[in-house]
Amino acid sequence: MLYGLLLVGGKSQRMGTDKSQLIYQNDTPEWRRLKALLTELCDEVYLCHPEGQQFPDSKAIIDPGDGPLKAIHAAQRAHPEAAWLTLACDMPLLDLKSLRHLVESRDATKPGTCYLSPIDQLPEPLCAIYEPASSAVIARGIQENQLCPRSHLKDAHHVTPLSPHVLINANSPADKIEVQAILEGTQTEKKLTLQYFAQLKELTKKTEEDLTTHYATASGLYEQIKAKYKFPYKQKDLMLAINDEYVPWEQLLKEGDNVVFIPPVAGG
């Protein structure tokens, strides 16, 4: 028995709007599009959200708050017999073909089945199947305040996505531009120069490098570079400069740009 769980209750500070309501394709908000994918593949589908929110024509699991692991466990407690195909609502490039690939790759003898991120090779906890057997371990994790769902997928069956973009998260307006460029096929190859300063110079052991990228914005590019060199900074900790000017992350990259990720500054 496979049930679907769509997590729609998350706050989105960086996007500045509710990610489940964003529209990328066919005038359909993401929660409806992803719910439809789950409905194709699952026996039953639930939306997991905080008490008081309303999603039309949907069955709800109330999200106790405090992160996705507790949400997943709330679903497991409500229907202990089911395996839960769990999705976050910020994966605008996830399509039926990819989700079906995950379901068809399922190994029910393992605690779960999940994709490995093509960027950092880590398990993706919010596009994953949690088997009933994982419930006890997750309960213990919650008791011990180990709330990172990824840590519960180390022994899961790991699947490689069919396309490198499937799992892209859209967390900011710049990410949204990136996703739209992929959906509309407007990504182009550009030659850029990256310059590195301070810790980033130490980690890369370079002051600059030339590279070719298909990313539309420096936001997409940063995630790739961050994984490659193991930068300790999240995008929101950094400022961005292009051609020796501070610019917003939404700025489109163009041929020949000089891009600098600015780690937290420390003058004075």
Partner 1 sequence: MNLFTISEDPIDINAIREASLDPHSGGFTSFEGWVRNHHNKTAVRSLEYSAYKILAEKEGQKIVQQAKDKFAIDTAYCSHRVGHLSIGDIAVYVAVGSAHRDAAFTACRYIIDEIKTRVPIWKKEHYEDGSTDWPHCQGCSH
| Residue with Cβ nearer partner 1 (55 or 233) | 233
Name residues contacting partner 1, limited to 114-133 (CB under 8 A).
none
Q: Where are the alpha helices (DSSP H) in the chain?
A: 30-41, 68-78, 96-104, 134-143, 173-183, 198-204, 218-229
Footprint on residues 186-205 left by partner 1 (CB under 8 A): 195, 197-199
Interacting residues of 144 by C-beta distance below 8 A, sequence separation 6+? none
Q: Give the per-residue contact string, 228-257, with partner 1 (x = CB under 8 A; - = no).
A: --------xxxx-x--xxx-----------
60 binds partner 1 (CB under 8 A): no
- Closest contact distance (angstroms) between CB of 169 and partner 1 is 20
Q: Which two tokens stand for residue 129?
A: 């199947």
Structure tokens given for 192: 């850029």
Smallest distance from partner 1 to CB 249, Å: 11
Task: Examine residue 80 and tell whether it contacts partner 1 (CB under 8 A).
Answer: no
Q: Which is nearer to partner 1, 56 or 268 (CB)?
A: 268
Sign of the Cα pseudo-torsion (101, 102, 108, 110, in order): positive
| Least distance to partner 1, CB of residue 252, Å | 20
Q: Which lies closer to partner 1 via its Cβ, residue 52 or residue 267? A: 267
219 vs 30, 55, 138, 213, 244, CA distance in Å? Answer: 21, 31, 33, 12, 17
Residue 164 Cβ vs partner 1, minimum distance, rounded to whole Å: 29
Q: Beta strands 190-195 and 208-213: pairing type?
A: antiparallel
Type of residue found at 27: D
- CB burial class (10 A; 0-12, 13-18, 19+) of residue 208? middle
Please say which residue, 161 or 263, places its beta carbon nearer to partner 1. 263
Among residues 74 and 239, whose Cβ is nearest to partner 1?
239
- Enter the tokens of residue 89: 């609502």
Beta carbon nearer to partner 1, 215 or 249? 249
- What's the closest the beta carbon of residue 182 comes to partner 1, in angstroms? 27
Q: In angstroms, what is the C-alpha Rg of the chain?
A: 20
Residue 62 near partner 1 by CB under 8 A: no
- Contacts with partner 1: how many residues (CB under 8 A)? 20
The reply to whether 260 sits near partner 1 by the rule CB under 8 A is: yes
CB of 268 to partner 1, least distance (A): 4
Near partner 1 by CB under 8 A: residue from 26, 54, 81, 266: 266
Q: Which is nearer to partner 1, 191 or 234 (CB)?
A: 234
Tokens of 160: 């490689």
Using CA atoms, how far apart are residues 181 and 176, in angstroms rounded to an integer?
A: 9
Question: Order of strands across the sheet with 123-130?
Answer: 59-62, 44-49, 2-7, 83-88, 123-130, 112-116, 157-159
Q: Could you say whether residue 264 binds partner 1 (CB under 8 A)? A: yes
Residues that bind partner 1 (CB under 8 A): 195, 197-199, 236-239, 241, 244-246, 260, 262-268
